[in-house]
Amino acid sequence: MSNCLICDNEYTPFVDFGNMPIANAFSLKEELIDEYTFRMQVGFCSKCKMVQLVEQPDREKMFHDNYAFFSSTSSYMVDHFKLFANSVAELQDLNKNSFVVEIGSNDGILLQNFNNMNVPSLGIEPSKNVANVAINKGMNVLSEFFDQPLAQRILNSYQQADAILSANVMCHIPYMHSIYKGVKVLLKDDGVFIFEDPYLGEIIEKTSFDQIYDEHVFLFSAISVNNLANMHGLELIDVEAQITHGGSMRYTLAHKGMKHISKNVADLIEKEMVLGLDDNKSYLGFTDSVNQIKRNLIELLTDLKSQGKKIVAYGATSKSTTVTNYFGITPNLVESIYDTTPIKQNKFSPGAHIPVLPYDQFHDSNPDYVLLFAWNHAAEIMKKEKDYMSNNKYWITYIPQVKII
Ligand code: JHZ
Ligand code: SAH
């Protein structure tokens, strides 16, 4: 039995991936000897309905001066965050007297849009290397972990915020009560707290099990987010599905009773109850669904290898760490992974030790099959590689099922 990070209720995990390394710990050969691992299991709390990792490594092991994920590597995401910023500016009627705070601003992919609009903003980004990219572009960023004490310090130096924003960060933070207490004091009476994260409903429907790795301590639903918000005098006032990261949800919260609640909230909560996201039973088949994908993918890769085919992978994603380690994919099956991120290149993937090579070498590698680890960017990547792949080369994807394209 484990205790819920939100309400302390006891629960039993429904899936166990065994020992997993840090998903973004791409390492040099000499660093591979002593790789850190943790037991990766996920459970559902039947009381507050939160789906969560049982154990998560210390935050400093994941977010530090050599953090490997740079948000702006996808041009689609650059456009997505521009639209996000524009929608917030319109919703809150932002101007030069407003104040926007972003939690987990990474390389400034969202924050830069407020700079361009001359709206005062502050990014909070503990991973120094990615924070520095934004700082060097002229953005106002504090390289620290956001929590309640930091919110109080921000309040002392600035003012309350018209909007507190966060994308793909809230689901990374186990100390949620500290975050919500911080948001509560930092948010203006008529302010909004808007965040988006991979959506539990999509993860269950698509069996996108690779959204589960060390950084993703929570898989949110509207039900669990609303329950958590209510514990802090906040409430969910809108929800909006996003196609990013394989299916995300944008949640808008406000101080209780301060804003109109969109019908979208009740509609989504009802849909989640029909889907059974509030019911323990809905999670019991998850392991079998993951194992079915595992059998099919390993069978396909083994079969192709026995025919002498060359298989490489595209995108050294965090998600791929769960896939390679849980499925047992080694360099014997997948020779190398090509990626555009300099800090990941000429290193080895966590646990599976597949060489990560610069994207520039991808075309010359001349593979027969390309396993698409960055399946969430399929539209952008397949468009970019259309001509190259038309020449008797095939993509392999595995979410929601194994498929050759
Ligand atoms: P991508 C990370 O997850 C980690 P990851 C984190 N926990 C999270 O929640 C999301 O991001 C937001 C490369 N690439 O976006 C770049 C190419 O090589 O799926 C990246 O290394 N060529 C914070 O790591 C990787 O693929 C391309 O054309 O699962 C994509 O990683 C494109 C588009 C990407 O996130
Ligand atoms: N918002 C970006 C970045 C997501 S990566 C995007 O959607 O692409 C997740 C980021 O959250 C990392 O850069 C990490 O350093 C940061 N992070 C982790 N814990 C945090 C905390 N407590 N406060 C602020 N940022 C945090």
DSSP 110-149: THHHHHHTT--EEEE---HHHHHHHHHTT--EE-S---HH
- How far apart CA 349 and CA 366 sit, in angstroms, is 21
Q: How far is the CA of 268 from the centre of ligand 1 (A)?
A: 28
Which residue, 102, 12, 101, 104, is CA-closest to 54?
12
Judge if the beta carbon of residue 215 lies within 6 A of ligand 1: yes
Sign of CA dihedral 358, 363, 369, 373: positive
CA end-to-end span of the chain: 42
Judge if the beta carbon of residue 226 lies within 6 A of ligand 1: no
pLDDT of the residue at 362: 98
- How far apart CA 180 and CA 192 sit, in angstroms, is 13
Nearest ligand for residue 195 CA: 2
Express each pLDDT in 188-226 by its tens digit.
999 999 999 999 999 999 999 999 999 999 999 999 999
> Judging by beta carbons within 10 Å of its beta carbon (0-12, 13-18, 19+), is residue 299 exposed, middle or buried?
exposed
Q: How far is the CA of 79 from the centre of ligand 2 (A)?
A: 19
Q: How far is the CA of 151 from the centre of ligand 2 (A)?
A: 16
Kind and range of the H or E run holding 222: helix 222-230
Pocket test for ligand 1, best of 69, 109, 382 (most atoms within 8 A of CB): 69
Strand 311-314 to 248-255 pairing: unpaired
- How far apart CA 165 and CA 138 sit, in angstroms, is 19
Bond prior to 198 in cis (omega within 30° of 0): no
Pocket test for ligand 2, best of 169, 193, 248 (most atoms within 8 A of CB): 169
Judge if the beta carbon of residue 374 lies within 6 A of ligand 1: yes
pLDDT of the residue at 1: 86
Chain-centre distance for alpha carbon 109: 15
pLDDT of the residue at 55: 97
Judge if the beta carbon of residue 179 lies within 6 A of ligand 2: no
* pTM summary value: 0.98
The residue whose C-alpha atom lies closest to atom 32 belonging to ligand 1 is: 74
Here the tokens at position 235 are 């409430």
Q: How far is the CA of 122 from the centre of ligand 1 (A)?
A: 24
Q: How far is the CA of 364 from the centre of ligand 2 (A)?
A: 34
Residues of the chain with pLDDT under 50: none
Residues in Cβ contact with 185 at an 8 Å cutoff, skipping those fewer than 6 apart: 148, 151, 152, 155
Q: How far is the CA of 233 from the centre of ligand 2 (A)?
A: 24
Ligand 1 atom at minimum distance from 213 CA = 7
Q: How far is the CA of 198 from the centre of ligand 1 (A)?
A: 13
320 sits in the region (left: phi over 0; alpha: psi -120 to 50; else beta) called alpha
The residue whose C-alpha atom lies closest to atom 11 belonging to ligand 2 is: 104
Q: How far is the CA of 253 from the centre of ligand 2 (A)?
A: 19
Nearest ligand for residue 61 CA: 2
- How far apart CA 60 and CA 20 sit, in angstroms, is 17
SS3 per-residue string spanning 29-67: HHHCCCCCEEEEEEEECCCCCCEEECCCCCHHHHCCCCC
